[in-house]
A and B are shown apart, each in its own frame.
Chain A
């Protein structure tokens, strides 16, 4: 019974989701809107509670057990609590203050300040690491070991040349050729993989809706 109820829910909602996509009948449309607008939103909101609960529990356990690097857990919990309090009670920015005073003289620490001055630069730093990792990966991996590797190397080289003004100086049609590599051979191979992927998604979705695939319920499908 513990398994059967979730499987029935999946079967019914799965079939309904597919039907609602194709049938424009008003009753089905309305029911679909309730599912999307209300049910999904409620589930999403409650899932946030689960997430916050997990992160707090994980770090409290680390602190209690004095696990390796446990002092960092204090940073996470303190940051979480302060940001949540400012976010809920401190208003959005200077023009829209909240109940909590978030201004000392000219310095304000409302949620927009945290967002613009902490989150944006921290996240951008992480993304910019990609350039470093990409160059080191290119240095190690792009070796003309065999015919396939040489072709890969040549294609990458032409694409990079096409992206810089130097490419135009070498040959005026080089950027167009680089674009052609992306748009034609690259797209063709991608479509080949995409067919396989989409068929895999279709088959897996069907197996889940029909209850054949149950691994996601736990217990490895038994």
Chain B
């Protein structure tokens, strides 16, 4: 239990729903680290995300019955510059050698830089993003990856709230409906040889 847990809530702002979903997961992770007395490190790249993340972690430590274990140093702002942030997090990974790295939220080109450094330090890595172009990098370098909508589903699932879980079911119905519409219209387009097919 001596080694830390690193949690990176992505590089986007609170305007990004992926960041909000990530902070929901952070709340549960923080509860676990509070229960087991594991050091938690949460670097952030947006001042507002920093403020919210600090509140989330603080509340989780209180909910876990360990408000004394929370200190100001757990959550901190680094920089809003993409690669300067990646450099700082890579530095934390190589110096502190966390046992687990969570890379959950919105990531861009820095995703592989973070994930490969984490893999090189031997940490167990759990990633999750809805940035589709970054998914191959996370899948290659991380042990577990939440793909696209799984990030939102995990955020709801982890809370175990029936209302939140119900929304996952609603999303599945919506997806089924969209699939039916796509198949139906594709068949119509094929049957009538519509010009929409020309670009293929």
Contacts and interface: CB of A to CB of B under 8 A. Distances in A.
Is any CB of A less than 8 Å from a CB of B in the complex? Answer: yes
Nearest to B51: A50
Interface in A27-70: 43, 47-51, 54-55, 57-58, 61-62, 68-69
The range of chain A's interface size is 35 or more
Chain A interface, DSSP helix/strand/loop, else mixed: helix
B83 A126 contact: yes
A196 B149 contact: yes
Contacts of A104: none
A215 B130 contact: no
A137 B140 contact: yes
Contacts of B79: 55
Interface string B56-89: 1011101100000000110011111111101100
Contacts of B10: none
A196 B112 CA distance: 23
Given A127-B83, A130-B109, A137-B112, A219 B163 contact: no
Interface in A60-89: 61-62, 68-69
A130 B135 CA distance: 15
The range of chain B's interface size is 35 or more
B84 A126 contact: yes
A216 B20 contact: yes
Contact of B47 (A48, A61, A212, A219): A48
Contact of A130 (B87, B112, B141, B178): B112
A220 B47 contact: no
Contacts of B190: none
A100 interface: no
Contacts of A216: 14, 20, 23-24, 52, 56
20 contacts: A49-B47, A50-B47, A54-B76, A62-B73, A122-B84, A129-B113, A137-B116, A196-B171, A197-B130, A200-B153, A201-B130, A203-B168, A203-B170, A203-B171, A213-B156, A215-B20, A216-B20, A219-B56, A220-B63, A221-B24
Q: Which 3 A-B pairs have the closest CB atoms?
A: A200-B152, A51-B47, A218-B59
Given A134-B112, A220-B63, 14 more contacts: A50-B48, A55-B78, A68-B96, A69-B95, A126-B84, A129-B113, A193-B149, A194-B132, A197-B132, A204-B167, A215-B24, A216-B14, A218-B27, A221-B159
